[in-house]
Homo-oligomer: A and B are copies of this chain.
């Protein structure tokens, strides 16, 4: 799903190039980030986000304000991204929140798994003591399973808190783990 630019190093990058993570570069990564975020937000079935959000607002939300975005890449090809931010202020500022997105073409390659590991490391490095997901759509079983494998527990169930474009009103989970 990522456009190959003629003459870029992508052309010479074997699929087996190592998966790495680095902080997102605001501006330079914007095209690739939006290419990943757009289909996810437009689908509206995993993120509680306005499906019609425009590019500028989406990029500003993903990597602006208190959000710190990172990208997973092979060479110059971006395969995924996550952000990390405080989930609350003041007495709740030691708990972070994260969001993850994987490029459709990179599904099933362990990109999300690598990003979760990196996010947990990054969260600890930034001094957070816990990580919380506020609105995990209950039909997003792959995400729920991935969080659980990584030590997250479902600590809350929000009855019909998510309006799924196909499934209608469904429950959402609050998931949490200490770091």
A178, B160: Cβ atoms closer than 8 Å: yes
Q: Is there contact, CB below 8 Å, between A157 and B159?
A: no
Shortest Cβ distance from residue A44 to the other chain B in the assembled complex, whole angstroms:
5
CA distance A135 to B50 in the complex (A): 23
Least Cβ–Cβ distance between A177 and chain B, in angstroms: 9
Which 9 A-B residue pairings sit nearest by Cβ, starting from the closest? Answer: A156-B156, A48-B92, A48-B88, A49-B90, A156-B174, A91-B163, A91-B162, A50-B89, A155-B156
- Whether B164 and A159, one on each chain, are in contact in the complex, defined by CB atoms closer than 8 angstroms, is no
In chain A between 112 and 155, which residues have their CB closer than 8 angstroms to a CB of chain B?
129-130, 132, 134-135, 137, 155
Interface size on A, residues (CB 8 A): 39
A27 within 8 A of B: no
Residue among B90, B159, B160, B178 making CB contact with A51, cutoff 8 Å: B90
The verdict on A36 contacting chain B, using a C-beta distance below 8 Å, is no
Closest chain B residue to A86 by CB distance?
B48
With A155-B156, A156-B156, A156-B174 in contact, is A50–B162 under 8 Å at CB? no
User: Which B residues are CB-close (under 8 A) to A157?
Assistant: 155-156
* Cβ distance A60 to chain B, nearest Cβ, rounded Å: 14
Contact B132 A163 (CB under 8 A): no
